[in-house]
């Protein structure tokens, strides 16, 4: 089944960059130059270590979709960046150390979770979204557990 990758809304990242506060929680955000590659949730590319600045903040990936929150830390480029546009393809540099796919049905019901290699993302997302009990998939880092992006049926 064809899928579509949904990055973080640019408006959310822009709001955090301007206020340095987490949306919905008002926790302080912070900015730093990373020492290791960090994934931007808007462009879904790497924030280059030692070169680019990131903004880190608390974010709920269920924001605007489900009532029960599940907040956690995320990163975006400190500079403005264009949102990921090749949405029919899983991002080449996102989650290279492995991915955790959390599959949800209606009402935020977790129906399946699977750890996969980055190379298997496209095939596995298509297979999981073809299941009748799966409405969307949250893609997370298999090493840190943090939210990366959402995949939905195309």
User: Rounded to 5, what percent of the chain is helix, strand, coil?
Assistant: 15, 35, 50
What confidence tens digit (pLDDT) does each residue in 64-118 have? 888 888 999 999 999 999 999 999 999 999 999 999 999 999 888 999 999 999 9
Q: Which residues pair with 113 in a beta bridge?
A: 102
Question: Which range marks the domain in which residue 101 is found?
Answer: 88-153
Sheet containing 136-141: order of strands: 3-6, 147-153, 136-141, 99-105, 109-116
Q: Are residues 96 and 140 in the same domain?
A: yes
Taking the CA atoms of the chain, what radius of gyration do you get in angstroms?
A: 15
Instruction: Say if residue 16 is in the same domain as residue 57.
Output: yes
How many structural domains compose the chain?
2
pLDDT tens sequence across 19-39? 999 999 999 999 999 999 999
Residues 129-152, mean pLDDT to the nearest whole number = 97
User: Among 35, 51, 77, which residue terminates a domain?
Assistant: 77
């Amino acid at each position: 089944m064809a899928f579509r990758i949904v990055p973080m809304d640019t408006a959310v990242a822009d709001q955090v960059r301007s206020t340095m506060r987490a949306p919905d929680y008002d926790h302080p955000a912070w900015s730093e130059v990373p020492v290791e590659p960090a994934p931007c949730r808007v462009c879904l590319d790497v924030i280059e270590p030692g070169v680019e600045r990131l903004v880190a903040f608390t974010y709920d990936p269920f924001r605007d979709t489900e009532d029960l929150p599940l907040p956690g830390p995320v990163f975006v480029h400190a500079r403005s960046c264009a949102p990921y546009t090749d949405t029919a393809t899983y991002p080449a540099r996102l989650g290279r150390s492995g991915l955790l796919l959390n599959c949800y049905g209606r009402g935020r019901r977790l129906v399946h979770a699977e750890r996969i290699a980055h190379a298997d993302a496209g095939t596995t997302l298509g297979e999981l979204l073809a299941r009748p009990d799966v409405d969307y998939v949250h893609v997370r880092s298999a090493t840190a557990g943090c939210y990366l992006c959402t995949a939905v049926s195309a």
